[in-house]
Structure 1
Amino acid sequence: MSSASSSKVVLITGTSSGIGLAAAVASAQAGWRTVATLRDTGRADALRKAAAEAGVELDIRQLDVVDEASVTAAVDGVIADYGRLDAVINNAGAGHLGTLENDSVADVRDVMEVNFFGVLNLSKAAFPHLRSAGGRLITVTSVGGVVGQPFNEAYCAAKFAVEGYMESLAPVAASVGVAVSVVEPGAVATEFVNNIGLDLEAEIADAGPYAPALDAYVNRTVAQFLNAAQTPAQVAETVLEALTADRPAFRLQTSDWARGFTGTKLADLDGSAVLGVTSGWVA
């Protein structure tokens, strides 16, 4: 492999399926040298098939965001092979369903490890190279990084943390030439929900006094995913906007629904509007 590249180089995490896969294909179609990473390269068949169907080339590599040695090796490998790193798209993440009484503190720590500290691991390792390139640091968060949602306490806490960190970092990063953005999808028709790995009927049965509220939440959420979910390709269009715009916004929602939902929170000084919406989800 060449030790240098004239094309801009982007590294994307969590590309085995869903948003990450679609973003990898879209960035390659836009002319970026795309390093598509995933924790288990044995799960790369769908990624390879999508790239072949799109007629693009991807550089598929292993990267586990919670393993600092893996992160360092991946970033060092990109620099060794291409001599540059112009953008990072933090997409890898894990869902979690639970609530305070029924979750262990260890459960919450695990969610934070993937969704927050995993983002920090890669961002920190890549940042000197992004600074040298005047590059982009993009993180796929969620509307759950703006609006807290029932039975998603741990997940939303991690996404809130990412948004707070990146919002705080953005002006500092801009002072050294790096643009920081977060992309906020709503419901997306991906394997993400299935990847939580839960037996929902068993979860409801074991929820004790929270069973009626959890049952109501699950029914509402399943309907939302069936009726209003975006495709990964639609979300990838917004990710590509953050990657290629001359002056990308800090916060980008991926749909009108996501803009309306997050807008409720961002204009809600006392919290009553948000709780008025989310309380109905568990009634």
Structure 2
Amino acid sequence: MSSQVAHQPSGPSKVVLITGTSSGIGLAAAVAAGQAGWQVVATLRDPARAHALRTAAAEAGVELDIRRLDVVDEASVSAAIEAVIADHGRLDAVINNAGAGHLGTLENESVAEVRKVMEVNFFGVLNVSKAALPHLRATGGRLITVTSVGGVVGQPFNEAYCAAKFAVEGFMESLAPVAARLGVSVSVVEPGAVATEFVNNLGVDLEAEIAAAGPYADTLRAYLDRTVAQFLGSSAQTPHEAAMAVLEALTADRPAFRIQTSDWARGFTGTKLTDLDGSAVLGLTGGWVADPAPAG
């Protein structure tokens, strides 16, 4: 990763708004940006869940402007951004981090459930980005979106989640050259496994999900055994480590459009980006849901 920090604020602090800061990467990015000298507007859907954020900020010696913003509520988004402009006079960067995990496969869930995943993870990003763009044009600012390696490589039982992240990546990749012509830099940040977040963010009972999976039960268990081990294992990053890639997108002189958060994430997404016929990706992910080889 680049260590350039030419975009670090000098004089009056530049203002960055970050969504989804109650935990994980969003919380770590808010604290890291504050330590780098930015005025951080840390937003979350439920301000009652800001205790961990306040504690982390206090321990780091940074002051955050903590506000409510619900990315799926256009009125909430507009009100939050208008208030930031009224109170701070400018907006130099937005980090779209808010999102929600989802576990499921098409036959076992409703299309309405898939739409809900898209609403949070895709349309929520669009709501915030659309409201922010006029202000980012005024400052020559940055639009940064935390996606996922699941925005590049489709993954079993993550159909709806990956579809939303694919949509975000395609939208931002298409927007980037248009926004650049008007002085706005667009980047996506692709985390891999982040320790503790997979199970916590799903908010489901995994054993109950397996029991309800019907003909998909054995396949789902194979996937979960592999994935939970990865998120708790040595390849997983801490939220702080992943947030350093977000900080790179915020501060580097000329950030890349696509930034992975680790060597593992770079290798994983590279499988897809060099896979012209799709066989490498399906060969890889097919192994995640195969019955384990017999011992002996």
TM-score, structure 2 length as denominator? Answer: 0.93
Deviation at 1:241, TM superposition (A): 0.3
Deviation at 1:7, TM superposition (A): 1.2
Tell me the distance in 2 between the aligned counterparts of 1:184 and 1:218.
21
Equivalence for 2:239: 232
Unaligned stretches of 5+ in structure 2?
Answer: 1-10, 291-296
TM-score, structure 1 length as denominator? Answer: 0.97
Equivalence for 1:130: 136
Task: State whether residues 15 and 37 of structure 1, in contact with CA within 8 Å, keep that contact through their aligned partners in structure 2.
Answer: yes
Task: State whether residues 196 and 232 of structure 2, in contact with CA within 8 Å, keep that contact through their aligned partners in structure 1.
Answer: no
Q: For 1:18-55, what per-residue CA distance to the aligned partner results, in whole angstroms no more than 9, with x for missing partners?
A: 00000000000000000000000000010000000000
Equivalence for 1:72: 78
Task: State whether residues 136 and 179 of structure 1, in contact with CA within 8 Å, keep that contact through their aligned partners in structure 2.
Answer: yes
**Does 2:190 match 1:184?**
yes
Question: Aligned letter for 1:278?
Answer: T
Unaligned stretches of 5+ in structure 1?
Answer: none
**Does 2:253 match 1:246?**
yes
**Does 2:171 match 1:171?**
no
**Does 2:222 match 1:196?**
no
Task: State whether residues 19 and 98 of structure 2, in contact with CA within 8 Å, keep that contact through their aligned partners in structure 1.
Answer: yes
Tell me the distance in 2 between the aligned counterparts of 1:266 and 1:258.
12
Counterpart among 151, 155, 158 of residue 149 in structure 1: 155
Give me the identity figure in percent.
84
**Does 2:105 match 1:99?**
yes
Q: How many residues get paired?
A: 279
**Does 2:68 match 1:59?**
no
Question: Aligned letter for 1:71?
Answer: V
Q: CA RMSD in A?
A: 0.9
Tell me the distance in 2 between the aligned counterparts of 1:190 and 1:183.
19
Task: State whether residues 19 and 236 of structure 1, in contact with CA within 8 Å, keep that contact through their aligned partners in structure 2.
Answer: yes
What SS does structure 1 have at the residue aligned with 2:106?
A: coil
Task: State whether residues 199 and 228 of structure 2, in contact with CA within 8 Å, keep that contact through their aligned partners in structure 1.
Answer: no
Question: Aligned letter for 1:196?
Answer: L
Tell me the distance in 2 between the aligned counterparts of 1:205 and 1:172.
48
